[in-house]
Amino acid sequence: MGTTLADIASKAGVSQASVSRVINAKPGVSEDLRNTVIDAITSLGMPVDKMQRNGTRLIAIVTPNMSNPIFPEFVTEITNLLAQRGFLVIVCSYTPSGTSEDGYLELLQSQPLAGVIFLGGKYDTKDSNLLIYNTLADRGIPAAFVNGAKRNMDGIYVSTDDALAMTIALKHLTDLGHRHIGLLLGDRNHFPSIIKHGAALEFFARHAIEHGDDMTAWTTYGVESGQMAARLLIENGATAIACASDELALGAIKATRSLGLSIPQDVSVTGYDDSPAMSFMTPSLTTVRQPVARICLSTINALMAMMENKTLTSRRDVILFEPELIVRESTGRCIRHNAPAVEP
């Protein structure tokens, strides 16, 4: 006869109901109780995953609005990798007018989750309240935070190196002779944009390139917002615009055309992400590619490791991946302000 709930409860000195709550990752279980039950299962020679019911093979992906094409790319890759490992995925996509990130986390409290992967959220925004994430740690559920910054939360942090991404974009533009370079960034409290901005200022200072405040535009992510903000940069004399996302870059291209100017003859534009279809648009977009497949695989491997050893979550490790510059048609030599290339 196999190991039963009664066997585990007797070994652990707790009720069968408590054992059931631990096995099914139900809320309201203390870490001490969970460890006691897990130790009892192990001592009886039964692998913990053999005692888990189907629900504990569930992993949630919490993501912002997937109108930005880079998010569906991450979701598809992560879902496929998890399916290969026998996990079922629930995708929670929040929008300003729909269910919020907090709302989804509240709904997930009743689900027997094996782990949660965040593709964006409050954790990537400065001065945000992070208490909602503690509900996962309280339940012993491993969490992975993608493309943000390390915060005061247990889990793994996996990201593209945003500072390097901005640096290689600016190096490309200055090699083409551009010195009047606008920065088109997301919200000024968004850590990826903050990091990119800091890297840009360091680059400009290191190479003695003047950059006034009027050459940086902070806005919301999106094509329309990018278009409005980019128009001001061009009117302020930008011959090139380095953007914090491909969506913002598309807005910058629209702004350039609305002013009767050409890409890249009058204004060069770089994006960030290398979202699907960026190579097929006209002109095709020069952008900094995130290594999505590598990021997703690393995230899954780290999540699996934390499931096996919960002490790893408290280490709050950070994994950074090197981006790649993809040169296409949206950048060219500066005609209006020609200058020698900047040395590395």
Q: Set out the domains of the chain in order of their start, with CATH numbers.
A: 5-51 (1.10.260.40), 54-160+291-320 (3.40.50.2300), 162-289 (3.40.50.2300)
pLDDT above 50 for 1? no
For helices 223-235 and 246-258, give the axis angle rounded to 10 degrees. 50
Q: pLDDT (tens digit, 9 = 90+) per residue, 54-70?
A: 345 789 999 998 888 99
**Structure confidence by residue, pLDDT tens digits, 103-158:** 999 988 888 899 999 999 999 999 999 998 988 888 889 999 999 889 999 999 99
Those residues with Cβ within 8 angstroms of residue 149's Cβ, 6 or more apart along the chain or in another chain: 123, 124, 157, 159, 191, 192, 195
258-290 pLDDT, tens per residue? 999 999 999 999 999 999 889 999 999 999 999
Q: Give the CA distances from residue 175 to residues 110, 240, 241, 332, 335, in Å, rounded to whole numbers and listed in that order.
A: 55, 12, 14, 10, 13
pLDDT score at 27: 59
> Mean of the per-residue pLDDT values for the chain?
89
Model confidence, pTM: 0.82
- Residue 52 makes CB contacts below 8 A (sequence gap 6+) with 23, 24, 114
Please classify residue 110 by burial: count the beta carbons closer than 10 Å to its beta carbon, then call 0-12 exposed, 13-18 middle and 19+ buried.
exposed
